[in-house]
Amino acid sequence: MTTTTAPLSDAELTQLDAYWRAANYLSVGQIYLLDNPLLREPLQPEHVKPRLLGHWGTTPGLNLLYAHLNRVIRHRDSDVVFVTGPGHGGPGLVANTYLEGTYSEVYTGIGQDAEGLRKLFRQFSFPGGIPSHVAAETPGSIHEGGELGYALVHAFGAAFDNPDLVVAAVVGDGEAETGPLAASWHSNKFLDPVRDGAVLPILHLNGYKIANPTVLARIPQQELESLFTGYGYIPITVAGDEPADVHQQLAAALDEAFDQIGAIQRASREDGEVGRPLWPMIILRTPKGWTGPAEVDGVKVEGTWRSHQVPLAETRTNPAHRAALETWLRSYRPEELFDDTGALLPELRALAPVGTRRMGANPHANGGVLLRDLDLPPMHDYAVEVSSPATESAEATRVLGTFLRDVIARNPDNFRLMGPDETASNRLSAVFETTDKVWLADISEDDEHLASSGRVMEVLSEHLCQGWLEGYLLTGRHGLFNCYEAFVHIVDSMVNQHAKWLTSSAHLDWRRPVASLNYLLTSHVWRQDHNGASHQDPGFIDHVANKRPEVVRVYLPPDANTLLAVGDHCLRSRQYVNVIVAGKQPALTYLTMDEAVAHCTRGAGIWEWASSSTPGNGLGEPDVVLACAGDVPTLETLAAADILRRRLPDLGVRVVNVVDIMRLQPESEHPHGLPDHEFDALFTTDKPIIFAYHGYPWLIHRLTYRHTNHAQLHVRGFKERGTTTTPFDMVMLNDLDRFHLVMDVIDRVPGLGSAAAGLRQEMVDARLAAKHYTREHGEDDPAITGWTWQREI
């Protein structure tokens, strides 16, 4: 539908347009001007920046929307957060937060006067200044403006459990071509109109990307509306290139959208209406680079892709370009907008909301200020009993599930569990004893645990899980993303951006810390034997390890109680990306809860019970160190240690288990890094280390290469050998099995003699026999998989 009413009086229209002109003026000023901010003298070359870095094309549209949303907020006292999909329109958001006063409050050096304007302009995209895109530095933002595709999913994440919030999400028509954005529209099937706020998507069709038209701008209007009807929205179209006309249309469209939102919320909250409402969305079709130069050097610019960045490129050296810039700037009539001191005129300033109703000052966009600690149950209540190490079994994630169940029960409005259709597969099903999966689409009688409200969110899109959670965290709440290990790579690029956000925001004292982004990666590489090679990839750890050490933590708890300890720790933490990798299959348990807490606190330690009672035990110097990180490598290492202790009783074997792999770095490289002498105390300075690691082996080398004993380090891990087979065959394919670890020890410890040579041959034979058994029976030899620690040896 296209709206035709004209809700603005002439005076309102004039003022709104003036506000828009002010924002456009400040935007162009940021991109171009070093000085002479109010054009009180003729524009000289030295007033213009030597390098022009910024994006004009999307900016007038953003400014238009911001100004109109200000009006709606004032009229309705609405609580609105603005999400800028076309985040390269950074000048617009800086301009608007400056006009409303937020910017000068946050950055007190940038005052509301001519000098403040000069600094505002100069700092933009300038060395030592601010980024050219919307970023953590931009007040009111929860959304980095670099990589495109996540505006809408962030908006939904922000709206969850914020019933009074409206998140206005501007989606650029370029961004709309991305996969994550195309899927994000379906988020309306996961938004509860009772307990969640509203998202108002605004698709800004300015028609062009960097160098091309956009798909959605070039399909028939009927097809476009059909698409959004199909996505479950009621589209409201605003289209034009005459400001006065567009102002009226947009004001009417926003009134209508907010009316519809109010009606939906009243119906579901007061009248008890159930089911999925059809939410409004706005299609805004205005020219790219609107109000900028129509032509430059005889070529059309306004309304084309050529206005994407800087329409006038040579303003410092080309007088004609500089004159065109001056004409462009003066077309906004700054003298009608700012007073003698350079302050915005009071009647225009009055068009912005006040206090925390200003979108730049909305506390939801600085979630740390709203963050409450989780009420966590005592983890000891969920611990499994471990009467003796490596003799009893538990499913680690199933145990964690009972803890998460009660985390959810105790925190009914600020914790969510995300997963791409895998929460039950990952054995966290205990959570369904206390909550449901959010589902606003149709429900049939066969369905289980689906409801319009719930703490678990499942959709077969890692992008949506990640984006919802990011939006939820950045607005001050908590959560956990459970995912198959291999497929979390789907969100590699999103976690890059989130980590960058955390890194940047840590330098801004006005941004308060948010809860960590917690991953539970299970169904991991060693137990995807049934799904085969496509499901076998432990590389997310490597990806995360490239981020700044201040923001990344990686944990490989070897059993159920260590997973509990790590989980509890991560849920209490702030401002990190925490990656936890843990198995879901029945697996041996090693540590009591108290031991687990102590071990996880140290992050890495000697397991004396598994080490030889010969000189290698405890802190005595062993002949060889068997190190391990990860549940399956720990199992194989212990089984290898068992063989070595029985068969080579004079060999001093030390078992070191690593939970927190960042402990392996030098302390100069990571806050969790071990001091050299502590590393040496664990790993010796000159004895062979056989390290059985969960992932790609070279990560361990990359973390440890500065340590004294690195030359003696030999790492086994996943070397991309996988297929559909049995669990033990998987470890054998990658030489991580107990038999091969024993061979590695024999090959690297000098002077072991003929008994060792005989044992080595037995290990070769044992591998062949194990391979033969699986090929014959289709399953692993129970004599191998049934191994437990033989205390009496």
Q: Among positive and negative, which fits the CA dihedral 434, 439, 440, 445?
A: negative
- Within residues 220-259, the interface with a second copy by CB under 8 A covers 220, 223-232
Contact code string over 456-495 relative to a second copy, x by CB under 8 A: --xxxx-xx---------------------xx-xx-xx--
Instruction: Figure out which of the listed residues 214, 268, 411, 414 binds a second copy, where binding follows CB under 8 A.
Output: 214
Q: Using the rule CB under 8 A, which residue among 533, 586, 666, 785 binds a second copy? A: 533
Candidates 67-75, 102-110, 680-688, 701-709 — which segment interacts with a second copy by CB under 8 A?
A: 701-709
Applying CB under 8 A, the span of 69-77, 175-183, 357-365, 514-522 interacting with a second copy comes to: 175-183
State the Cα–Cα distance between residues 20 and 248, nearest whole angstrom.
Answer: 14
Residue 724 CB contacts under 8 Å (≥ 6 apart), including other chains: 529, 530, 531, 532, 533
Which CB atom, from 536 or from 561, has the smaller least distance to a second copy? 536
Q: Is 305 helix (H, G, I), strand (E, B) or coil?
A: helix
DSSP assignment of 644-704 equals: HHHH-TTS-EEEEEESBGGGGSBTTT-TTPBPHHHHHHHH-SSS-EEEEESS-THHHHHHH
Note whether 212 binds a second copy by CB under 8 A. yes
649 binds a second copy (CB under 8 A): no
By C-beta, is 136 or 651 nearer to a second copy? 136
Q: Which of residues 146 and 412 has its CB atom nearest to a second copy in the complex? A: 146
Dig out the tokens for 364 from the structure.
């939801």
Secondary structure of residue 415 in the 3-state scheme = strand
Buried b (16+ CB within 10 A) or exposed e, 406-424: bbbbebeebbbbbbbebbb
- Of the pair 137, 559, the CB lying nearest a second copy is at 137
If one asks whether residue 701 binds a second copy (CB under 8 A), the answer comes out as yes
Query: Residue 8 half-sphere exposure, CB side, CA atoms within 13 Å?
Result: 23
Type of residue numbered 603 = G
- Contact indicator for 25, 335 with CB cutoff of 8 Å: no
Show contacts with a second copy in window 38-57 (CB under 8 A).
49-51, 53
Nearer to a second copy, 77 or 446 (CB): 446
Of 321 and 498, the one with the shorter C-beta distance to a second copy is 498
Q: How far is the CB of 730 from a second copy (least distance, A)?
A: 10
Question: For a second copy, which stretch binds (CB under 8 A), given 129-137, 333-341, 350-358, 734-742?
Answer: 129-137
Residue 48 three-state SS? strand
Residues 498-527 within binding reach of a second copy (CB under 8 A): 500, 503-504
Q: Are strands 517-522 and 478-484 parallel, antiparallel or unpaired?
A: parallel
CB of 308 or CB of 645, closer to a second copy: 308
User: Which residues make Cβ contacts (< 8 Å) with residue 548, sequence separation at least 6?
Assistant: 499, 503
Least distance (Å) between residue 132 CB and a second copy: 5
Q: Mark the segment that binds a second copy (CB under 8 A) among 376-384, 400-408, 627-635, 718-726.
A: 718-726
Beta-sheet strands, E only, within 456-526: 456-458, 478-484, 517-522
Min dist. Cβ of residue 30 to a second copy (A):
12
Q: Beta-carbon neighbour count of residue 469 at 10 Å?
A: 30
- Asked if 127 interacts with a second copy (CB under 8 A), we say yes
CA distance 256 to 263: 10
For a second copy, which stretch binds (CB under 8 A), given 119-127, 379-387, 404-412, 562-570?
119-127
Among 6, 75, 104, 146, contact with a second copy (rule: CB under 8 A): 146
3-state secondary structure of 597: helix
Which token pair is 720? 């991309």
Residue 34 as a binder of a second copy (CB under 8 A): the answer is yes
Q: Is 676 in the site for a second copy (CB under 8 A)?
A: no
Comparing CB distances to a second copy, the nearer of 96 and 132 is 132
Residues 745 and 624: their CA atoms lie apart, in Å, by: 7
- Give the closest residue to 200 by CA, choosing from 159, 139, 242: 159
φ/ψ of 658, rounded to 5, equals: -115, 120
By CB under 8 A, the residues from 87 to 116 that bind a second copy are 88
Q: What are the structure tokens assigned to 723, written together?
A: 């297929």
Determine whether 211 is exposed, middle or buried from the number of CB atoms within 10 Å of its CB (0-12, 13-18, 19+).
exposed
Backbone Cα Rg of the chain = 30
| Stretch binding a second copy (CB under 8 A), from 258-266, 374-382, 681-689, 720-728 | 720-728
**Quick one: which segment of 208-216, 338-346, 398-406, 596-604 binds a second copy (CB under 8 A)?**
208-216
Q: How far apart are CA 767 and CA 579, in angstroms?
A: 33
For 338, the token pair is 């700012």
Residue 441 in contact with a second copy, rule: CB under 8 A: yes
Residue 584 within binding range of a second copy, rule CB under 8 A: no
To the nearest whole angstrom, how small is the minimum distance from the Cβ of residue 538 to a second copy? 9
777 interacts with a second copy by CB under 8 A? yes
Which residues inside 352-371 make contact with a second copy, applying CB under 8 A? none
- Contact residues for 234 (Cβ-Cβ < 8 A; gap 6+): 1, 260, 278, 279, 280, 281
Within 13 Å of residue 102, how many CA atoms lie on the same side as its CB? 26
Q: For a second copy, which residue of 345, 409, 424, 755 counts as binding (CB under 8 A)? A: 424
- State yes or no: residue 283 binds a second copy (CB under 8 A): no
140 binds a second copy (CB under 8 A): no
Q: Which two tokens stand for residue 461?
A: 């899109």
Query: Cβ closer to a second copy: 309 or 611?
Result: 309
Counting contacts by CB under 8 A, is residue 145 touching a second copy? Answer: yes
Return the residue of 705, 758, 765, 783 that touches a second copy, per CB under 8 A. Answer: 705
Task: Tell me: does residue 630 bind a second copy (CB under 8 A).
Answer: no
Q: How far is the CB of 719 from a second copy (least distance, A)?
A: 8
Binding track over 721-760 against a second copy, x by CB under 8 A: --xxxx--x-------------------------------
At residue 131's C-alpha, the angle toward residues 128 and 137, to 5°, is: 95
Select the residue interacting with a second copy from 42, 45, 109, 179 (CB under 8 A). Answer: 179
With beta carbons less than 8 A apart as the criterion, state whether 388 and 789 touch: yes
Q: Can you read off the two tokens belonging to residue 334?
A: 């700054």
Q: How far is Cα 610 from Cα 397, in angstroms, rounded to an integer?
A: 24
CB of 746 to a second copy, least distance (A): 20
User: Nearest distance from residue 32's CB to a second copy, in Å?
Assistant: 12
Least separation in angstroms between CB 706 and a second copy = 9
- Using the rule CB under 8 A, which residue among 358, 535, 599, 767 binds a second copy? 535
Q: Which of 78, 97, 304, 362 binds a second copy (CB under 8 A)?
A: 304
d(CA 186, CA 171): 14
Interface segment toward a second copy; rule CB under 8 A; list 197-205, 242-250, 419-427, 747-755: 419-427
Size of the site for a second copy (CB under 8 A): 121
Measured distance between the N- and C-terminal CA atoms of the chain, rounded to whole angstroms: 80
Which residue from 542, 608, 676, 747 is in contact with a second copy, where contact means CB under 8 A?
542
Helix (H) or strand (E) holding 604: strand 604-606
Stretch that binds a second copy, among 73-81, 105-113, 204-212, 265-273 (CB under 8 A): 204-212
Q: Which residue has the tokens 């989606």?
A: 171
Q: Is residue 720 part of the contact set for a second copy (CB under 8 A)? A: yes
Residue 641 CB, shortest distance to a second copy, in Å, is 26
Element at 393 (helix H, strand E): strand 393-395
Element (H, E) at 784: helix 782-785
Between 48 and 352, whose beta carbon lies closer to a second copy? 48
Task: Find the shortest distance in angstroms from Cβ 223 to a second copy.
Answer: 6
